[in-house]
Amino acid sequence: MGRRTGRAGRPPVVGITAYGRESGPRGMQFSLPTAYVDAVRSGGGVPVLLAPGEAEPGEALEAVDAVVFAGGGDIDPARTGGGHETNYAVDAERDDFELGLLAAALEAEVPVLAICRGLQLLNVARGGTLHAHLPDAFGDAVAHRVPPLDPTRHGVTLEAGVALARVFASGELEIESWHHQAVDRLGAGLRPAAFAPDGVVEALELEGAPFVMAVQWHPELQREPGSPQLGLFRTLADWARSRSR
């Protein structure tokens, strides 16, 4: 099957936010796990990396039809409502770039898929706060990541009537979880779309937005044949195609 087409009949270009600057064998570098790239391709999009540091983040939208806000390190605790000793990879440059990019994407109604940190970024951008460390707030009944910093799987339940229900045939999902923070106070215009068994918010919707999907889990890690999680990336590509006609 060929890729879905975007502007001028070409496949939709999907920007993926990159991790912040870090030292590598040949100096400083930007990076991103290949799972994001592979998932976007599986969904029918052409992936391009959007690196922090743009003076005008919104200008990056001129090159893409949709944006994936990727996971990664914690948002600056000064923005989230409080920190914790387990905070890691805090990067002001990345925060500034992604908050600017998100604001521009929402204003321009560019399709957005926000994953893990991306969901948290959306909530913070709308004036919400985060639980600084989930075990402190919810205990250990559900592991949202396992020591030292590894992913794990658990179930989530979609709320009735949410937009995500159009992506998944079932209201009960097994997802790949890899986080230690999550939504505390909801941001303006947001409503929970899914929950973990312990009550942690696992997905958000933004009222009035044509296409903003935000999931706390990592759908890019569930690319096995037949996985319903790939539907998120296919749906993103479909919306990008329809918008760019």
User: Could you give the residue numbers annotated as active site?
Assistant: 116, 218, 220
CA distances in angstroms from 194 to 80, 199, 209, 211, listed in the order given: 21, 9, 18, 17
* Structural contact between residues 153 and 177, judged by C-beta atoms closer than 8 angstroms: yes
Q: Which of 95, 55, 98, 97 is nearest to 78 (CA)?
A: 95
d(CA 204, CA 113): 11
174, containing H or E segment: strand 172-177
CA distances in angstroms from 163 to 21, 34, 198, 212, 219, listed in the order given: 35, 27, 22, 9, 16
Q: Is the torsion defined by CA of 222, 225, 230, 233 positive or negative? A: positive
d(CA 62, CA 137): 41
Q: Is the torsion defined by CA of 45, 46, 51, 56 positive or negative? A: negative
Is the preceding omega at residue 12 within 30 degrees of 0, hence cis?
Answer: no
